[in-house]
């Protein structure tokens, strides 16, 4: 079972790493991280804080953009180019195929995020003359957030076109980020029963992405309770598993 | 020149997005101290577990009904 998943993941990793969008996004984000030193020069005293804030936002946006761009095109491209037919003819279930695609895309995005993290850590070392241990934790939870976005993109791509998948995943990403502050406020302000029920449904379906944002912890060196981190990690893994199982069941019924 | 323009625009966008993001967070305080975040995570885990259990129960029921029909 694992061999099948790993073969698809390796194939997906190779395919994604050759895509122009991956190279362009990686280079753009690395250039922005390098360029952020210029912007932080203007703010005397809080240089390092601005640098950390800017670079972490950049890593998150870059990772999310890569996850959306690569995750939304993997399965539809295979279906359109009919390369999926010889794969499904082999002793490989559709669930294994979807799982392999997710893992392959996630590894590709992780490589991009790792490159950005190395550049970010080098900048911190340049400014602080020491490495920041909070970077690892913040990046690890950013990766978990990116994994959720990848899982959503992979699942939506099992029944939608790449363009629709990109839009829906982006909406889920934005909605998940502003969920507690904005969508929660909408529920409180709505008066009608039906509207309230609709908003509540959207509220509970959207991922709680703000929980994975430990940027403020990195910037202000505030310790995050270990129990909270454990709960966030468990929640992330559960959400990914749930979304992927949904995707697998959609794809199992799909005619390709 | 195009690269410089793209870089400048992206840098400005990200620089704007950072404080915007932080503005809401400051209003709420650090999210690890806000009980709403913790409660919402627990609610969502419960919903997902409930949904998975419901699907499992429905598939088990369908299997039982199919078996009984084939026997009868």
Rounded Cα distance between A134 and A132, Å, is 5
Q: In angstroms, what is the C-alpha Rg of chain A?
A: 20
- What percentage of chain B carries pLDDT values higher than 90? 43
| Pick from B10, B41, B48: CB nearest A28 | B10
How many beta-carbon pairs below 8 A join chains A and B?
A: 83
Q: Which residues contact A100 (CB under 8 A, 6 or more apart)?
A: A4, A5, A6, A7, A8, A9, A11, A12
Q: Give contacts of A53 with chain B, Cβ < 8 Å.
A: 18-19, 22
Among chain B residues, CA nearest to A245: B52
Q: How far is residue A140 CA from its own chain's centroid?
A: 11
Phi and psi based region of residue A127 (left: phi greater than 0; alpha: psi -120 to 50; beta: remaining): alpha
Q: Is B60 on the interface with A (CB under 8 A)?
A: no
Under the banding of pLDDT at 50, 70 and 90, the label for residue B26 is very low
What confidence tens digit (pLDDT) does each residue in A136-188 have? 999 999 999 999 999 999 999 999 999 999 999 999 999 999 988 888 888 88
Question: What residue in A sits closest to B53 (Cα-Cα)?
Answer: A242
Residue numbers of B between 15 and 34 with CB closer than 8 Å to A? 15, 17-19, 21-22, 24-25, 27-28, 30-32, 34
Q: Are A109 and A25 a contacting pair, CB within 8 Å?
A: no
The answer to whether A6 contacts chain B (CB < 8 Å) is no
Residue B17: list chain A partners with CB under 8 A.
57, 61
Alpha-carbon span A171 to A179, nearest angstrom: 11
Mutation site for A-interface testing, chosen from B37, B45, B50, B59 by largest number of A Cβ within 10 Å:
B37
> How do the domains of chain B map onto residue ranges?
1-29, 34-72
Q: Which residues of A touch B28 (CB under 8 A)?
A: 180-181
The secondary structure of residue A130, as a DSSP letter, is S
* Alpha-carbon distance B65 to nearest alpha carbon in chain A (angstroms): 22
Q: Do A204 and B43 touch (CB under 8 A)?
A: yes
| Contacts B42 to A, Cβ<8 Å | 231
Q: Which of A184, A211, A234 sits opposite B31 (nearest CB)?
A: A211
8 Å CB contact of B48 and A216: no
Q: What ipTM does the predicted assembly reach?
A: 0.86
**Cβ-Cβ contacts under 8 Å for A91 (sequence gap 6 or more):** A4
Say if the Cβ atoms of B32 and A180 lie within 8 Å. Answer: no
- Choose from A53, A229, A253 for mutation: most chain B CBs within 10 A: A53
Q: In a 3-state reduction of DSSP, which class is residue B72?
A: coil
Query: Who contacts B29 (Cβ-Cβ below 8 Å, separation ≥6)?
Result: none
The pTM assigned to this predicted structure is: 0.87
* pLDDT tens series, chain A, 256 aa: 678 899 999 999 999 999 999 999 999 999 999 888 777 666 666 788 888 888 999 999 999 999 999 999 999 999 998 888 888 888 889 999 999 999 999 999 999 999 999 999 999 898 888 888 889 999 999 999 999 999 999 999 999 999 999 999 999 999 999 988 888 888 888 888 888 899 999 999 999 999 999 988 888 888 888 999 999 999 999 999 999 999 999 999 888 7
Short-list A190, A212, A213, A210, CA closest to A200: A190
For residues A169 and A153, the answer to whether their CB atoms sit within 8 Å is: yes
- The values of phi and psi at residue A63, to 5°, are -60, -45
d(CA A112, CA A51) in angstroms, rounded, equals 19
d(CA A35, CA A44): 17
């Amino acid at each position: 079972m694992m061999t099948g998943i790993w073969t698809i993941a390796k194939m997906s990793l190779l395919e994604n790493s050759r895509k122009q969008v991956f190279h362009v996004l990686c280079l753009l984000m690395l250039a922005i991280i390098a360029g952020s030193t210029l912007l932080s020069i203007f703010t005397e005293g809080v240089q390092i804080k601005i640098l950390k804030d800017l670079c972490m936002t950049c890593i998150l946006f870059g990772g999310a953009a890569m996850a959306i761009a690569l995750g939304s095109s993997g399965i539809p491209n295979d279906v359109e180019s009919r390369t999926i037919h010889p794969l499904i003819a082999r002793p490989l279930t559709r669930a294994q195929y979807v799982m392999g695609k997710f893992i392959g895309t996630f590894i590709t995005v992780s490589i991009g995020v790792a490159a950005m993290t190395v550049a970010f850590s080098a900048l911190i070392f340049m400014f602080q003359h020491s490495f920041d241990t909070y970077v690892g934790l913040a990046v690890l939870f950013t990766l978990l957030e990116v994994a959720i976005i990848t899982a959503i993109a992979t699942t939506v791509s099992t029944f939608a076109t790449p363009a629709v998948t990109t839009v829906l995943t982006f909406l889920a990403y934005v909605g998940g980020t502003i969920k507690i502050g904005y969508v929660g406020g909408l529920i409180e302000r709505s008066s009608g029963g039906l509207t309230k029920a609709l908003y509540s449904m959207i509220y509970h379906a959207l991922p709680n992405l703000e929980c994975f944002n430990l940027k403020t912890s990195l910037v202000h060196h505030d310790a995050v309770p270990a129990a909270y981190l454990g709960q966030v990690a468990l929640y992330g893994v559960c959400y990914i598993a749930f979304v992927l199982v949904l995707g697998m069941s959609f794809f199992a019924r799909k005619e390709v | 020149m195009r690269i410089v323009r793209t870089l400048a625009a992206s840098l400005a966008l990200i620089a704007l997005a950072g404080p915007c993001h932080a503005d809401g967070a400051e209003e709420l305080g650090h999210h690890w101290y806000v009980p709403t975040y913790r409660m919402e995570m627990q609610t969502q885990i419960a919903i997902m577990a409930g949904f998975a259990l419901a699907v499992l129960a429905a598939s088990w029921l369908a299997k039982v009904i199919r078996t009984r029909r084939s026997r009868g």
